Amino acid sequence: MKKPKLEAAGGELLTPMQLLSRAAVTAGPGIVWIALFLILPMLILLGYSFLTRDELGNAVFPLTVDNYVRFAGWDVLGYDAAYLIIVGRTILVSLVTTLFCVLIAYPLAFFIAAHEPKTRDRLMIFVILPSWVNLVIRTYAWMIMFNPSSPITQLAATLGMVGPNEGLYPSDFAVYLGMINVFLPFIVLPLYSAVERIDWSQLEAAQDLYATKTQAFIQVLVPQTLPGLTAGIILTAIPALGMFVVPDLLGGAKVALIGNSIAQQFGASRDYPFGAAISFLVMGLTLLVLWLYARRVGEKGMRDLL
Amino acid sequence: MFWLFFLPVMALLFAAWHFGLRRNQVRKASLGLSLTSYLAFGFLYAPILVVAVMSFNNSRFRLEWVGFTTKWYAKIFGDESVTGGLEGAQLLAATQNTLVLAIISTAIATVIGSLLGYGLHRYRFPGSQLTAWLMYIPVVTPDIVMAISLLLLYQVLRNVAPFFEPGMPAMVIAHVTFQIAFVAIVVRSRLATLDPALEEAARDLYASPLETVRQVVLPLALPGVMAGALLAFTLSIDDFVISFFTSGPDSQTLPILIYASVKRGITPDINALSTIIVLLTMVGVFLSQILQRNQK
Amino acid sequence: MDLNIGERRKRVLEDSVDVHFKDIRKAFGDVEVLKGINLEIRRGEFFSLLGPSGCGKTTLLRILAGFEFADSGEVLLRGQDVAPLPPNQRSVNTVFQNYALFPHMTVAENVAFGLKMRKVPATQLKDKVRSALEMVEIGAFADRRPAQLSGGQRQRVALARAIVNEPQVLLLDEPLSALDRKLRVNLQVELMRLQARLGLTFIFVTHDQEEALTMSDRMAVMNKGVIEQLGGVQEMYERPANAFVAKFLGSSNLLEATVTSSRTVKTELGVFEVSDQLPNVGQDVLLSIRPEKISLSRAQSSLANTVAVKVTDDIYQGATGAYRAKTNSGFELEINTMNSGVTDSNFSIDEELFAYLPADFLVVLQGQSKLEKIGGDES
């Protein structure tokens, strides 16, 4: 007698067919949606990046790798590393932003963890709250603060940091501040959940075993925060690579980042294939980092990201 | 009408009191740690406060402080005697678009996302691991890349169906796409905290599979579903980049309107509008927190 | 009819079989957790499945409840094959290890759940819920949520939720393991009374040998997917079938021996008389004797089965005393004495004594004849 191999799920024993149909009814619509509007667009993005732009700005055949070659700097007019410079600048901005966010987030996370559990929750809400405020609003606020007539700018002018009647924006500085402001909550959140989970008795154990306070902190506490830190870095560094609003409003033409370059190709320049090529590079990098991260922490660990 | 604006202010004050930070609860944070943290909080809130303060500035064009006024709020609430800045009709349309977009997309995403979260939690099937992984793509992918890829998809699909013209349907689809992922992740983590024996207990006590879902799984997953829906709603209201690249001339949302106005030059009524949005957002977040706490 | 525990032990069980496991096999991936289980459980009996964690006892229970399926073999519930029935169509109910009470329902709603699902009319339902709650003495908590109850109270709710359905068989999956010791002992007594009163078949899964000994009519000791021994509790304690049972059920001194005649064996402690059935002369056997069956005395005895020992450890335990004593050859015996104050039971370390191992209590074990083959201590 041959029995079908059953599978236990939620107090039920299902044959493979039953299981598949249950999965299709529940997860099916979501999977179809993701396939249609998340995966398919990525493939189209990849496809577009190999097309050519005609005189009217339409994407047409033949297939070509020119867009990637152009991105790397070889244009009909000769070598120009403009886009590589933008990439370099974007990566720099992303890394510096992440670094400063980590530097601010660490004391903040420990500060919050030093409170009673109830207060901790409240403080965390206060950290997250600004991230719910619309990005455009939070960004243009810096335009108000950094315009030539604002007290902050005038103070900077007195110190000789900017010339008279010049604003603190558009500038690198404004972009950095705007970016750090936007991403700080994203790094505090996972870092704090790691700090909250710290087994503080290990600190005492380390000190009991003759470690100094600093040694104990570095060798016992910091390693325990690493999972949260990694999640926070991913949540900051990757989206920062594609940030569009902040450099657009605070950076001006001088401080164009990848995000602006992409927007430009789909706006004024109307060069979709080239824009698709740049987007796909960012997308590829995102997927690569996400994949490496998933491989390291496993599927459960990825929940740190949300 | 503008005094209506003070309702959220009062709600916020209440919330601040409810969540009041009493200094005596500080246990062992050192002075340096506390100072750094207060500075960090100040830095986080500075842009929001500046916008709020400038919304009371009695100046039409200039960014420096001239004097106190509430006329910009009056204007937003329909006082046509105030000149300068946005047109009332534009504002109304943008508000409507924002809400319609958020409500429809959240409704769709909550249903599909919750089902997806349940399916991934409950069943191991070919591709379930991959799907679980794919859901994190919208969480980390830069907005602009998602926006561009959808823009291109629509361009291809437009050859087949005019439905994919830039505009509200295209925006709803775009929003649902990233919302589904967030809802599914939240619902799934909520389900993961439940004792698997609960479903077995229901089955053991003569409940059919459907009754088990209705009587046990759904009520227990509901906080997760609500939290997911709230998150989806806020993400939709908040979104600028994806809406910007998929919107048509008749489907401008508030963030797009604000962005376009800022590009032309910041006017005080934009500050007033932003302040109202900020307050409503904050009240929403506080309310959801209070709701969640009462649920425990 | 309220039976006390003494009467309960004496009650005559029906001869009919409630649950029949026939050659049940089950593997999770490459791991075989059940390797051909054959077991009959009689109607109205308190039956325990006892074994270390991972021995397969819970899997066996889950197969009966319908949460798992057997790779091969049959489960008969009152003669009917249950394989095609989903859990909600089996008239067995389970008390889960962590109770699995529905947190969003009150105590009364929890207890009413099964009745509601079976569409019992509202009027009957109320009475049944009330009497079930009263039976486990938590009537006063009917409107509370599980989160507002203590562990012991939750346990009672879980019990009421199961018995209110009047199942043919009640399955209990380590229901007391999460409770502290005092509470556990109280609930043990209550469970036994309840079982006797309802006349229900209980299948009780536990890793606690004391619990199984206290409560069961019969039990099966399981290890690594097989039943090591099956029988009445007294029989199993007094006559363990093999080294695993001897060690897992209480503690035992195990002694290698070679048969020298139909009544005697030779061990490293000398020649012993054995009342148990011995195999042929020349064969190796393993003997077991319980620590409390050995008696110690200061006076040299001329009786057979006596060895000279020296006390190495002396552990005062209140009601009992536990000693470790070494023979001249270095063999360590475990010996328990009653602190009755009548017999001399107060020995000190390094004292030289005589241990008497009565022939009646030296049990010949099956399955193995050498000590080395015994696996690690699993209890």
> What gap in Å lies between CA C366 and CA C240, rounded to an integer?
9
Instruction: Decide if pLDDT at B25 tops 60.
Output: no
| Residue B281 belongs to some domain of the structure | yes
Look at residue C6 in the predicted model and tell me its pLDDT. Answer: 55
Q: What is the mean pLDDT of residues C92-98?
A: 90
Count of pairs with CB atoms under 8 A, one residue in B, one in C: 61
Look at residue C378 in the predicted model and tell me its pLDDT. Answer: 42
- B197, C96: Cβ pair inside 8 Å? yes
Asked if the C-beta of B200 comes within 8 angstroms of chain C's C-beta atoms, the answer is yes
Instruction: Decide if pLDDT at B197 tops 80.
Output: yes
How far CA B198 is from CA of A180, B191, C158, C171, in Å, comes to 44, 11, 12, 16
In this structure, of A145-149, B9-13, B58-62, C126-130, the range with the lowest mean pLDDT score is: B9-13
How far CA C244 is from CA of B187, C250, C368, in Å, comes to 47, 11, 10
- Residues comprising chain A, all counted: 306
At C281, the pLDDT band (50, 70, 90 cuts) reads confident
- Nearby residues of C308 by Cβ (< 8 Å), 6 or more positions away: C327, C328, C352, C353, C354, C355
Coil, strand or helix: which one is C49?
strand
- Residues comprising chain B, all counted: 296
Instruction: Decide if pLDDT at A16 tops 70.
Output: yes
The neighbouring-strand residues paired with C333 are C325
- Domains contained in chain A, number: 1
Q: Which tens digit of pLDDT belongs to each residue from B53-83?
A: 888 877 766 667 777 888 788 877 777 676 6
Report the CATH number that the domain containing residue B234 is assigned in CATH. 1.10.3720.10
Q: Is the bond into A247 cis (omega within 30 degrees of 0)?
A: no
Q: What is the mean pLDDT of residues C52-58?
A: 88
A190 phi and psi, to 5 degrees?
-70, -35
Asked if the C-beta of C69 comes within 8 angstroms of chain A's C-beta atoms, the answer is yes
- B173, A37: Cβ pair inside 8 Å? yes
Shortest Cα–Cα distance, C321 to chain B (Å): 43
Chain A residues closer than 8 Å to C67 by CB = 8, 11, 13
Q: What is the mean pLDDT of residues B13-37?
A: 54
Instruction: Decide if pLDDT at C11 tops 90.
Output: no
Cβ under 8 Å to A: B residues 3-22: 19, 21-22
How many other CB atoms are found less than 10 A from the CB of residue A167? 20
Average pLDDT in chain A: 83
B111 phi and psi, to 5 degrees?
-65, -55
Q: What is the mean pLDDT of residues B10-35?
A: 52
Query: What single-letter DSSP state applies at residue A36?
Result: I
Cβ under 8 Å to A: B residues 100-159: 112-113, 115-116, 118-120, 122-125, 127-129, 131-146, 148-153, 155-156
Contact B253, B242 (CB under 8 A): no
In this structure, of B186-190, B290-294, C143-147, the range with the lowest mean pLDDT score is: B290-294
Look at residue C14 in the predicted model and tell me its pLDDT. Answer: 61
Asked if the C-beta of B250 comes within 8 angstroms of chain C's C-beta atoms, the answer is no
Contact C100, C158 (CB under 8 A): yes
Which chains lie within 8 Å of chain A at 3 or more CB pairs, if any?
B, C
Report the CATH number that the domain containing residue A195 is assigned in CATH. 1.10.3720.10
Q: Which tens digit of pLDDT belongs to each residue from C304-351?
A: 888 888 888 888 777 788 888 888 888 888 888 887 766 666 778 888
Look at residue C4 in the predicted model and tell me its pLDDT. Answer: 56
If one looks up domain C5-243 in CATH, what number appears?
3.40.50.300
Shortest Cα–Cα distance, C22 to chain A (Å): 15
What is chain B's Cα-based Rg? 23
Q: What is the mean pLDDT of residues C257-267?
A: 86
> What gap in Å lies between CA C134 and CA C131, rounded to an integer?
5
Instruction: Decide if pLDDT at A161 tops 80.
Output: no
Axis crossing angle, helix B268-295 with helix B31-54, rounded to the nearest 10: 130
CATH of C251-370 given 2.40.50.140, 2.60.120.560, 1.10.10.60, 3.40.50.300 = 2.40.50.140
Q: Which residue has the higher pLDDT, C377 or B221?
A: B221
Burial of A40 (0-12, 13-18, 19+ CB in 10 A): middle
State which residues form the domain around B285. 91-295
Q: Which tens digit of pLDDT belongs to each residue from B95-107?
A: 889 999 999 999 9
Q: Which tens digit of pLDDT belongs to each residue from A53-76?
A: 776 667 777 777 777 877 777 777
> What gap in Å lies between CA C228 and CA C249, rounded to an integer?
11
Going along chain B, which residue ranges are E strands?
none
H or E element that contains B277: helix B268-295
What's the pTM? Answer: 0.82
| Residue B160 belongs to some domain of the structure | yes
| Residue B205 belongs to some domain of the structure | yes
Asked if the C-beta of B203 comes within 8 angstroms of chain C's C-beta atoms, the answer is yes
At B1, the pLDDT band (50, 70, 90 cuts) reads very low
Shortest Cα–Cα distance, C83 to chain A (Å): 10
- Domains contained in chain B, number: 1
Could you tell me what percent of chain A has a pLDDT over 70?
95
Look at residue C157 in the predicted model and tell me its pLDDT. Answer: 92
Instruction: Decide if pLDDT at A4 tops 60.
Output: no
Look at residue B20 in the predicted model and tell me its pLDDT. Answer: 40
State which residues form the domain around A158. 74-305
Q: Which tens digit of pLDDT belongs to each residue from B205-263?
A: 999 888 999 999 999 998 889 888 988 988 898 889 999 999 888 888 989 988 888 88
Q: Given C102, C103, C114, which is nearest B206 (Cβ)?
A: C114
Average pLDDT in chain B: 81
Look at residue B132 in the predicted model and tell me its pLDDT. Answer: 86
Cβ under 8 Å to B: C residues 152-191: 161, 165
Could you tell me what percent of chain B has a pLDDT over 90?
24
- Chain C residue closest to A8 (CA)? C68
At A294, the pLDDT band (50, 70, 90 cuts) reads confident
With vertex at residue A256, the alpha carbon angle to CA A255 and CA A260, rounded to the nearest 5 degrees, is 150
Look at residue B227 in the predicted model and tell me its pLDDT. Answer: 85
At B85, the pLDDT band (50, 70, 90 cuts) reads low
At B291, the pLDDT band (50, 70, 90 cuts) reads low
Asked if the C-beta of A6 comes within 8 angstroms of chain C's C-beta atoms, the answer is yes
At B22, the pLDDT band (50, 70, 90 cuts) reads very low
How many other CB atoms are found less than 10 A from the CB of residue B260? 15
Asked if the C-beta of C28 comes within 8 angstroms of chain B's C-beta atoms, the answer is no
| Residue A134 belongs to some domain of the structure | yes
Shortest Cα–Cα distance, C309 to chain B (Å): 53
> What gap in Å lies between CA B212 and CA A29, rounded to an integer?
22
How far CA A263 is from CA of A241, B143, B155, B169, C57, in Å, comes to 13, 11, 16, 22, 63
| Residue B18 belongs to some domain of the structure | no
Chain B residues closer than 8 Å to C87 by CB = 200, 203-204
Shortest Cα–Cα distance, B126 to chain C (Å): 17
Contact B266, A146 (CB under 8 A): no
Look at residue B114 in the predicted model and tell me its pLDDT. Answer: 94
| Residue B43 belongs to some domain of the structure | no
Q: Which residue has the higher pLDDT, B28 or A26?
A: A26
Shortest Cα–Cα distance, C68 to chain A (Å): 6
Residue whose pair of structure tokens reads 């977009």 in the numeric block = B101
Q: Which residue has the higher pLDDT, C297 or B294?
A: C297
User: Which range among A177-191, B258-272, C14-28 has the greatest average pLDDT?
Assistant: A177-191
Shortest Cα–Cα distance, C366 to chain A (Å): 36
Asked if the C-beta of A296 comes within 8 angstroms of chain B's C-beta atoms, the answer is no
Q: Which residue has the higher pLDDT, C2 or C206?
A: C206
| Residue B72 belongs to some domain of the structure | no
Shortest Cα–Cα distance, A299 to chain C (Å): 21
Could you tell me what percent of chain A has a pLDDT over 90?
10
Cβ under 8 Å to B: A residues 245-264: 245, 249, 259, 262-263
Instruction: Decide if pLDDT at A32 tops 90.
Output: yes
Contact B211, C117 (CB under 8 A): yes
| Residue B113 belongs to some domain of the structure | yes
- A6, C69: Cβ pair inside 8 Å? yes
Residue whose pair of structure tokens reads 């691991």 in the numeric block = B129
In this structure, of A49-53, A288-292, B19-23, the range with the lowest mean pLDDT score is: B19-23
Look at residue C177 in the predicted model and tell me its pLDDT. Answer: 84
Q: Which tens digit of pLDDT belongs to each residue from A101-115?
A: 988 888 888 888 888
Q: Which tens digit of pLDDT belongs to each residue from A79-102?
A: 777 788 888 888 999 999 998 898
> What gap in Å lies between CA A48 and CA C343, rounded to an integer?
97
> What gap in Å lies between CA C90 and CA B204, rounded to an integer?
8
Q: Hey, where are the domains in chain C?
A: 5-243, 251-370
Instruction: Decide if pLDDT at A3 tops 70.
Output: no
Instruction: Decide if pLDDT at C356 tops 70.
Output: yes
> What gap in Å lies between CA A259 and CA A245, rounded to an integer?
8
Count of pairs with CB atoms under 8 A, one residue in A, one in C: 15
Which chains lie within 8 Å of chain C at 3 or more CB pairs, if any?
A, B
- A27, B37: Cβ pair inside 8 Å? no
Cβ under 8 Å to A: B residues 214-243: 234, 237-238, 240-241
In this structure, of A291-300, C57-66, C99-108, C224-233, the range with the lowest mean pLDDT score is: A291-300
> What gap in Å lies between CA B192 and CA B132, rounded to an integer?
13
| Residue A29 belongs to some domain of the structure | no
Q: Which tens digit of pLDDT belongs to each residue from A115-126?
A: 888 888 888 888
Contact C21, C49 (CB under 8 A): no
| Residue B151 belongs to some domain of the structure | yes
